[in-house]
């Protein structure tokens, strides 16, 4: 289906063929199928508000069918040689990389980010498959003689079994590959419930992986507008052994409660409230570059986004002026248009939330340096915004902004900066800029976060463990840690030799 008529904005020429190729059925077993009740939903283009595609809307019965397919494939996939599992992931990596422009355009169309951002995500997202294709062949156990001499201790690793992945809309490819890569490398089968806002990328991914030789049932994709009931049905299925979720802390909590029913393994990548601290000994221009990356990357719609920019008062005015100049110059427009540096917000509801946070802070006395308004016209655009002198207690300092809004607060001492940085229930990403080595060592230790960026505004790397502490989640994705989330440890006690 093509973009609804009546919108003035033209899609790129390549969009029509690409959208024709993307499967719009549920991907269960060996390929696309309609939902059991025949219902569908529209996937919207956030730059126009028009419909991009009409996708099958999974029911509870469909979810059970996906678990059936995962169960039917489980034993054979677990017994498939690790090298073979790795080769299928590697072949998928090659295809995604070769088809970089297609994946990038599809993400720009359904999620809104600029094509350059989408290309970056293709490289990042595909890399999880290359990384875990290599990890598949390095699943190690150990053998030791019991210290008493009274036996041999054999420790082996086994796939946990059937997994459910529930993913968000902000990184449609990478949030999938970061879970699918390690699960399949470990020998697990997986059902993915992608975000209802961005199911197309995951559906194209399933097709590409099937063409790369992935056996039917190893990966199923069940887009749905009925996430609460469909996910609850899978969570209640005794065959499921693990859930991996990326999304809001609020939904993560619900899934943790459901996981208690059958004591499922869980990985939770939840919300963040990242502090971005600029000390007065920082290279200020580098700090502005870093803040632009940490704030504006992905339009601010990232769980790692700098949510609270904390600047030492002696350099705050200078830093704020430089940051404001850069942010005010950000070109806003559809992500596929050359020159666009900031695309739309994912949907009207999210945009409303951002506007409310900004209005609330401004009415409480925060100083608005640029932006601060919803942009008129089709699509869900919001002005790039800088706020300073935000009063303590404002909602914008407690909640995830998830948009292109830089929220600046001043501090005087290192202790005060640390107290502000840690004064949140979240603990995902954090950043700070300083040229003082002793301070770098001190602050890295004292910040309560799963990830710390020192003099850099981008930290994600498929070879590094990504994850949060406190209410930002449980477990790590990526790195050599990532595959452990999909492996059980078994101890075999042997008699002494």
Binding site for ligand NAD (CB under 6 A): 166-170, 175, 193, 195-196, 227-228, 231, 246-248, 251, 254, 269-272, 303, 400, 428, 468, 473
Give the residue from 82, 97, 175, 166 showing the smallest Cα distance to 132. 82
Backbone φ, ψ for residue 328 (5° rounding): -65, -25
Name the minimum Å distance from CB 382 to ligand NAD: 16
Give every CB contact of residue 438 below 8 A, 6+ residues apart in sequence.
none
Taking CB positions, which residue lies at the least distance from ligand NAD?
A: 247
- Shortest distance (Å) from residue 467 CB to ligand NAD: 7
Burial (Cβ within 10 Å: 0-12, 13-18, ≥19) of residue 362: middle
Do 434 and 282 form a contact (C-beta atoms < 8 A)?
yes
Question: Is 227 or 264 the residue whose CB approaches ligand NAD more closely?
Answer: 227
CB of 249 to ligand NAD, least distance (A): 7
DSSP assignment string, 8-67: -PPPPTHHHHHHHHS--SEEETTEEE--TT--EEEEE-TTTS-EEEEEE---HHHHHHHH
* Residues 6+ away with beta carbon under 8 Å from 483: 132, 135, 136, 139, 182, 185, 186
Quick one: 81 or 228, whose CB is closer to ligand NAD?
A: 228
Catalytic residue among 121, 269, 400, 414: 269
Closest distance to ligand NAD from the beta carbon of 230 (Å): 8
Comparison of 228 and 377: residue with beta carbon closer to ligand NAD: 228
Closer CB to ligand NAD, 121 or 269, in the complex? 269
Strand order in the sheet with 429-433: 367-370, 385-388, 405-411, 306-312, 274-278, 429-433, 451-454
- Indicate the residue among 74 and 428 with the shorter CB distance to ligand NAD: 428
Residue 56 tokens, joined: 């099958």
269 among known catalytic residues: yes
Task: Give the whole-angstrom CA distance, residue 243 versus residue 265.
Answer: 6
Instruction: State in angstroms the smallest separation of the CB of 104 from ligand NAD.
Output: 19
Q: Which residues are catalytic?
A: 269
């Amino acid at each position: 289906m093509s973009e609804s008529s009546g919108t003035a904005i033209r899609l790129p020429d390549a969009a029509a063929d690409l959208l024709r190729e993307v499967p719009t059925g549920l991907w269960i077993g060996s390929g696309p199928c309609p939902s059991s009740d025949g219902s569908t939903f529209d996937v919207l283009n956030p730059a126009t508000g028009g419909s991009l595609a009409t996708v099958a809307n999974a029911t509870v019965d469909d979810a059970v069918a996906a678990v059936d397919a995962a169960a039917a494939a489980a034993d054979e996939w677990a017994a498939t040689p690790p090298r073979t599992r790795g080769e299928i992931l590697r072949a998928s990596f090659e295809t995604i990389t070769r088809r970089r422009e297609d994946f990038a355009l599809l993400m720009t169309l359904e999620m809104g980010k600029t094509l350059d951002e989408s290309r970056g995500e293709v490289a990042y997202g595909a890399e999880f498959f290359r990384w875990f294709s290599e990890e598949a062949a390095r699943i190690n156990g150990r053998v030791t003689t019991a210290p008493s001499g009274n036996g041999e201790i054999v420790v082996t690793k086994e796939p946990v079994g059937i997994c459910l992945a529930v993913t968000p809309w902000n990184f449609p490819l990478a949030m999938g590959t970061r879970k699918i890569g390690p699960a399949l490398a470990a020998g697990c089968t997986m059902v993915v419930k992608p975000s209802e806002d961005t199911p197309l990328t995951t559906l194209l991914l399933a097709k590409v992986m099937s063409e790369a030789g992935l056996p039917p049932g190893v990966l199923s994709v069940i887009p749905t507008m009925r996430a609460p009931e469909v996910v609850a049905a899978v969570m209640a299925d005794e065959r499921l052994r693990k859930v991996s979720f990326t999304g809001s802390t609020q939904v993560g909590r619900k899934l943790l409660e459901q996981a208690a029913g059958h004591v499922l393994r869980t990985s939770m990548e939840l919300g963040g409230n990242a502090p971005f601290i600029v000390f007065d000994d920082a290279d200020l221009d580098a700090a502005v570059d870093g803040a632009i990356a940490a704030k504006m990357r992905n339009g601010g719609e990232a769980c790692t986004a700098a949510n609270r920019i904390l600047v030492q008062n002696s350099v705050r005015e200078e830093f704020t002026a430089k940051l404001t100049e850069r942010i005010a110059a950000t070109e806003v427009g559809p992500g596929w248009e050359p020159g666009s540096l900031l695309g739309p917000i994912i949907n009207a509801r999210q945009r409303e939330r951002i506007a409310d946070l900004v209005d609330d802070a401004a009415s409480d006395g925060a100083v608005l340096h640029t932006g601060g308004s919803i942009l008129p016209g089709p699509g869900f655009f919001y002005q790039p915004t800088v706020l300073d002198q935000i009063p303590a207690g404002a909602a914008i300092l407690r909640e995830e902004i998830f948009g292109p809004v830089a929220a600046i607060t001043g501090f005087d001492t290192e202790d005060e900066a640390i107290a502000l940085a840690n004064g949140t229930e979240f603990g995902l990403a954090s950043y700070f800029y300083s040229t003082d080595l002793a301070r770098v060592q001190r602050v890295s230790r004292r910040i309560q976060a799963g990830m710390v960026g020192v003099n850099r505004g981008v930290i994600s790397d498929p070879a590094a463990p990504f994850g949060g502490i406190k209410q930002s989640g449980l477990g790590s994705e990526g790195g050599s840690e990532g595959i452990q989330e999909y492996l059980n440890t078994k101890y075999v006690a042997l008699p002494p030799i």
